Amino acid sequence: SRIKVGLVFGGRSGEHEVSIISAQAIAKGLTTPANPDRYELIPFYIDKNGAWLGAEIAASILKTGQPHPPSETPPPNFWNFPPQASEVDVWFPILHGPNGEDGTVQGLFKLVQKPWVGSGVAASAVGMDKILMKAVFAAAGLEQVAYLPVNRSQIWSDPCVYSHLCDHIESTLGYPCFVKPANLGSSVGIAKVKTRDQLTTALDNAASYDTRIIVEAGVVAREVECAVLGNDRPQASVIGEITYTSEFYDYETKYTDGRANLIIPADLPTEVIEKIQAMSITAFNAIGAAGLARLDFFYVEKTGEILINEVNTLPGFTALSMYPQLWEKTGLAFPDLVHQLVQLALERGAV
Ligand code: ADP
Ligand code: MG
Ligand code: MG
């Protein structure tokens, strides 16, 4: 009989809309004739307030692509999940950002002892938290930009402490630097700053999103990405590049049609490609990822340096997104990719 896949999408994050489009693509991929009678889809929709809606509403959202008006009720609790949840054999969360990519939903699946697609609790949490992520990358010997972790209390303290913090950032990282909330994605809350005034504005803003903030030295580099697939023997895809004309790859550039270009495969020397692929596997293993991850890098053409920027454990998964496109160009078509992901989840079990 067919395996029942619980596809969870939407979610309480800034990437709610993207998640719906990713889910539409995955639903189609799992049930296309290329995967004949393999999977029965049971969709679940998490609205913008965090309420879980069952298969009927979820299926209609997959059809129309339109978000459901968020519930007015307080956050749901786990004893009123849609009843279909108990029928699921394997979960496929396609939630981007906080409350889905960060280990929270993964913990729920682990509690109910059902396998799920993608990384476990710790890898997801480390992948979402840029400060933890960089510490793990450093321990694995991966090169990255210079950075300073900042605690919100340093920003929300007396002016003297705050001013000392800014002096320290200026002397160690210089300008331009990037200020980021530690636990977000899609460039939300990120600023590129060139002056002391911009620095304090950016720190104040980042502090409104998160208790942990990271400040990084800015680099001038090409942005290249690699897709990894697998559990114990992860494989790396061809490399893709993102180009754009804005100051950096900000939210608007990411989500406005025509602002960013994906070039796959990227035009790079063979040794650079091989090094990025090797670093991708090292990074995947370093955080203990499973199933899938997209590894993002800065390639400083002038010096030949390759710096790891970040890992995304649940990368964008629309038909046009970098992750499935990288696999497509590596020789794995979309329906085969989603099939492999479910098989990897079943192979791994509920751990
Ligand atoms: P997110 O997880 O939100 O995607 P990133 O750390 O990838 O956050 O930053 C978003 C974008 O900001 C990057 O794709 C890049 O364009 C720019 N950026 C981030 N950090 C740096 C840096 N240290 N130097 C240069 N550009 C950066
Ligand atoms: Mg990210
Ligand atoms: Mg990024």
Nearest-ligand number for the alpha carbon of 191:
1
Residue 51 Cα to ligand 3 midpoint, Å, equals 27
pLDDT at 78 over 70: no
For helices 121-128 and 130-139, give the axis angle rounded to 10 degrees: 100
Residue from 226, 309, 322 to probe ligand 1 pocket by mutation (most atoms less than 8 Å from CB): 309
pLDDT of residue 74: 67
Nearest-ligand number for the alpha carbon of 186:
1
For residue 53, the cross-strand partners are 45
> In terms of C-beta distances under 8 Å and separation of at least 24 residues, what long-range contacts does 25-30 make, across chains too?
25/317, 25/318, 25/319, 25/324, 25/334, 26/92, 26/94, 26/317, 26/338, 27/62, 29/334, 29/335, 29/337, 29/338, 29/339, 30/5, 30/92, 30/335, 30/338, 30/339, 30/342
CA–CA separation, 250 and 190 (whole Å): 8
Q: Is 323 within a domain? A: no
pLDDT in tens, 255-310: 888 899 999 999 999 999 999 999 999 999 999 999 999 999 999 999 999 999 99
Same domain, 136 and 191: no
Q: Is 348 within a domain? A: no
pLDDT in tens, 14-33: 889 999 999 999 999 999 99
Extract the tokens encoding 193. Answer: 């700053």
pLDDT at 76 over 80: no
CA–CA separation, 157 and 161 (whole Å): 7
Same domain, 131 and 92: no
Same domain, 192 and 212: yes
pLDDT at 80 over 80: no
Q: Which amino acid is at 183?
A: N
Residue 269: which domain range? 127-143+220-313
pLDDT of residue 185: 85
Check which CATH number belongs to the domain holding 187 and give it. 3.30.1490.20
Extract the tokens encoding 330. Answer: 């590596």
pLDDT in tens, 143-196: 999 999 999 999 998 999 999 999 999 999 999 999 999 998 888 999 999 999
Mean pLDDT of all residues in 28-47: 96
Mean pLDDT of all residues in 116-132: 98
Q: Is 328 within a domain? A: no
Q: Is the CB of 309 under 6 A from ligand 1?
A: yes
pLDDT of residue 351: 84
Domain end position, chosen among 217, 250, 278:
217
Residue from 126, 248, 299, 311 to probe ligand 1 pocket by mutation (most atoms less than 8 Å from CB): 248
pLDDT of residue 77: 63
Same domain, 78 and 197: no
Q: Is the CB of 310 under 6 A from ligand 1?
A: yes
Q: Is 338 within a domain? A: no
Same domain, 84 and 67: yes
Residue 187 Cα to ligand 1 midpoint, Å, equals 7
- The CA-atom distances, in angstroms, between 170 and each of 140, 199, 205 are 27, 9, 18
Domain end position, chosen among 166, 199, 217:
217
pLDDT of residue 13: 85
Q: Whose CA is nearest to atom 14 of ligand 1?
A: 249
Check which CATH number belongs to the domain holding 92 and give it. 3.40.50.20
Q: Is the CB of 219 under 6 A from ligand 1?
A: yes
Nearest-ligand number for the alpha carbon of 242:
1
pLDDT of residue 98: 87
Extract the tokens encoding 334. Answer: 């979309």
Q: Which amino acid is at 123?
A: A
Same domain, 139 and 151: no
Q: Is 346 within a domain? A: no
What's the ipTM? Answer: 0.99
Q: Is the CB of 209 under 6 A from ligand 1?
A: no
Please report the sign of the dihedral spanned by the C-alpha atoms of residue 47, residue 51, residue 54, residue 57.
negative
Same domain, 26 and 109: yes
pTM over 0.90: yes
Same domain, 185 and 293: no
**Greatest C-alpha distance within the chain:** 67
Same domain, 7 and 107: yes
Burial of 58 (0-12, 13-18, 19+ CB in 10 A): buried
Average pLDDT, the chain: 95
Q: Is 122 within a domain? A: no
Q: Is the CB of 97 under 6 A from ligand 1?
A: no
Residue from 183, 187, 294, 314 to probe ligand 1 pocket by mutation (most atoms less than 8 Å from CB): 187
Nearest-ligand number for the alpha carbon of 216:
1
Q: Which of the pair, 228 or 13, is modelled with greater confidence?
A: 228
Same domain, 155 and 11: no
